[in-house]
A and B are shown apart, each in its own frame.
Chain A
Amino acid sequence: MESQLNFNIENSFDSRYSFCARQELDELPYSFTITDPTICGHPIVFASKGFLKVFGYSKDEVVGKNGRVFQGPKTDRKSVMEIREAIREERSMQINLLNYRKDGTPFWMLFHLSPVFSKEDGRVIHFVGVQVPISPPRRPRWSASGVVRNGANMCEEGDRVCGNTNIMFGSCRREVCSDTPVELSRVLGLLASESVLDDSSRGLGIEETCEASNLEKQKAEVAINKIFSVLTRHSELTGRFVCAERHSLPGAGILSSALNISLGRIKQSFVLTDPHLPDMPIVYASDAFLRLTGYAKDEVLERNCRFLSGADTDFSTLYQIKESIQTEQACTVRILNYRKDKSSFWNYLHISPVRNASGKVAYFVGVQIEEGCKNQDRNGLCPEMRHRSVVGAVKVAVRSLSMGAGPSRS
């Protein structure tokens, strides 16, 4: 199971951009990550060398994790929510965000998020997140020359100074060491441990929002463009083209990133089928479903559920299911199903219609429980209740679909 997940994560990147893209991305001097919203937990599938350096993690500690592990107690919840909203709406955004390095030190960065679309069907394949560390507000005693002296790589424009992250940190450290603790913490809170500063820096600490300068915003844009140029070029090699702008509306049967993420939190076996598509194909299959039936994800998506039936499956039960779907009613049946390896099992199946924001049936959810299976639900719910709990969670997740959001707040 673990290895399957690791495979999914590697495959998510390699199958789209080829392995060679990794090397080319690593040569870019930026701190960024690529995440896959279609995998459970929306994990990081690629982290650049620059990112690992800035955050102080090794690659293995980061890949497979959700980006929120870099947030900490002082990360503004509202900013986190705005990122969540942007992911939900599958749009780009820039925000000043307080992140934490592995050693626990917080620092301000400009976070730029951009979705990567599939050229073919318009769905979101990945999100690219670029992190540009924000240099601290200029204080009178920091003469520009003083900063520049620390790094040849640094560029200076306007009233701000920025450059290669590591050098920037180095320069701050040197410039500020003689400041009072209050000012020290004000700079980035990087230097001393929190406990030392906790009281003395009251109200002046790292939680004071650091605003990114125009230069930093530009930097993020440049980084995003460079990254996209690598990604699009390599996607041409695999024949699975990606683009930075949505060229076509998401095709039928494609779930939004937000829905994928919400559904990924439900750990039981279930599938969503789309009644508006010919032959009502599966459009989402949970990891537990794949484990139960032995199929891989791409072997079940876009197929009708009937592949689960076999020689001894009762026709009257299949008819009952068909009828409940036609009348848009929920139903519970006991049906003999078959795994990929042809072994059979009794499936205690519950099917229910699920409605979107317009109040119309958008999907049917089918929840499978293998009968006689000893592993009791860890939450202590009986099979009926397990059915209900999945249906409830899916209903909540699907309810926001096609809400027809007006123009975004500008």
Chain B
Amino acid sequence: MVTVKQVEDDNLVSKGAIPEQLKCPQFCFQDIRIPLYRFSSQSLLDDSPFEGHVCITEDEQSALDSLLLALWEDKMWKGVLRYDVTTSEIKVIFGKRKFIAQLNERLGMDYVPKPEPDKICGQGNLSEFQWTKHQEEFLFYVACGEMAISELIPSAAMPDGALLIIINEIPVEYGHVFLVPCGSDSLAQVLDTKSLEMVARFAVEINNCSFRLFYDCPTAGTSHRYFEACYFPSPLPVELTPVDTFFHEGQRGMRISAVTDFPIKTLLFESNKKFKRMVEVLVEICCQLQEKSIPYNLLISDSGKKIFLFLQMQNMANSGTLSAWECGGYFLFQSRSEFDQATEETMLNKLRDVSLDDEGFQVVKELCCSIADKFVA
């Protein structure tokens, strides 16, 4: 359930949001008033198990899900998107892995769309012109709230520490958005606990099993920090692959598992309880991976219950790193012939080529155990 504040209440909200505190340089959000979704004060990330959360019923679309879909579809109807992604053909590639292929001839020159948030919250200089251009891509803010239940405020300025949800005008799938943490440390180059917690909570609250969140670690020389999300028509192959658990914290605590027999080295993090701690552990692991120059990606699925960590090879000479959905087994093709000829073997090789090696994987697993032990102790 969600309460709805009428527009008159907006002032109450904006008091909490002091533009000077927004450390997105060269960019002032104060005049951008868009809907604000505030999480309830009940934190499902502390100690409470997922099941006990009052807002979550699986039989019904959640308020956050309705909001995101409504705003996204609205932008599509208004022509903000470059194309209708639902006209792109998708298929399951023949084989036991069930890799998924999409034919998207309008994706443009970039295999993976270059995200715009670089310019928004990064260090780029944004002119007034671009600012107005981007405004129509803004969907809504998400922030923490103090109410007992989540609420939607139809129009508000950005509160500190909010996530800004921006539409991707060149979507990879339906509902493709960027989630940009905006606030005091939004320029940090590494993943931080607060942001990961916010997006994980977003996944929990949206409560739609088709919805998936992604994070690609920044490649050397770039500075960006944002997440991506979209609705996928079916589970990604990695989600259907067996795992081997090697770290276990009690009966209900954090579990870290290695995904077995998958072409790219992958770890799975799950926790029924003490979710916050798992996020802290994961962030610490990601920071160390970045220090070791091991490229990684995150995939949050199953309404926030599962977080996959893909481990790629450092400094690939010729090819770039793969995006999180590619690691998960979802591939985009720009030409009909490539799409038609895609085989499981090519996809396997594509993933194997960028994967961390066995030796490196062992080191990462040990690293995970030692970090997890440290937090558990």
Contact = CB atoms under 8 A, between A and B. Distances in A.
- Of the candidates A88, A197, A404, the one having the most CB atoms from chain B within 10 angstroms of its own CB is A404
A403 B66 contact: no
A49 interface: no
A40 B57 CA distance: 13
**Size category, A interface:** 35 or more
Contacts of B8: none
B348 interface: no
Contacts of A205: 251
A198 interface: yes
A324 interface: no
B250 interface: yes
B250 A198 contact: yes
A385 B71 contact: yes
Interface in B93-138: 93-98, 100
Contacts of B306: 77
B69 interface: yes
A395 B174 contact: yes
A407 B96 contact: yes
A171 interface: no
Closest 3 CB pairs of A and B: A380-B4, A392-B69, A400-B233
Contacts of B250: 198-199, 202-203
A306 B96 CA distance: 46
Interface stretch (A66-74, A147-155, A158-166, A312-320): A66-74
A381 B70 contact: yes
Contacts of B209: 84
A403 B90 contact: yes
A381 B175 CA distance: 18
Per DSSP, chain A at the interface is loop
A213 B60 CA distance: 37
Nearest to B3: A380
A190 B277 CA distance: 29
A138 to B, nearest CB: 23
B51 interface: yes
Interface in B46-104: 49, 51, 58-61, 63, 65-74, 77, 84, 86-98, 100
A380 B65 contact: no
A372 interface: no
A255 B240 CA distance: 25
Interface string A91-115: 0000000000000000000000000
Given A206-B251, A379-B2, A66 B67 contact: no
B175 A386 contact: no
B67 A404 contact: no
A393 B98 contact: no
- B interface, size bucket: 35 or more
A265 B174 contact: no
Contact of A77 (B60, B98, B174, B305): B305
Nearest to B72: A392
B92 A74 contact: no
B326 interface: no
A403 B233 contact: yes
B251 A197 contact: yes
A40 B60 CA distance: 9
Contact of B152 (A73, A198, A201, A380): A380
A342 B302 CA distance: 45
B274 interface: no
B248 interface: yes
A66 B74 contact: no
B314 interface: no
B251 A198 contact: yes
A8 interface: no
A68 B51 CA distance: 11
Given A66-B59, A78-B243, A389 B152 contact: no
A274 interface: no
A74 B272 contact: yes
A366 interface: no
B67 A359 contact: no
B1 interface: yes
A124 to B, nearest CB: 18
A265 B61 contact: yes
Contacts of A194: 251
A328 to B, nearest CB: 10
Contacts of A405: 92, 98
Nearest to A68: B58
Given A265-B60, A400-B233, A74 B252 contact: yes
B70 A385 contact: yes
Interface string A318-330: 0000000000001
Interface in A337-371: 354-355, 357-359
Nearest to A262: B210
A267 interface: yes
B66 A381 contact: yes
B154 interface: yes
A189 B84 CA distance: 51
Nearest to B257: A78
A85 interface: yes
B254 to A, nearest CB: 12
Interface string A196-227: 01110111011100000000000000000000
B280 interface: no
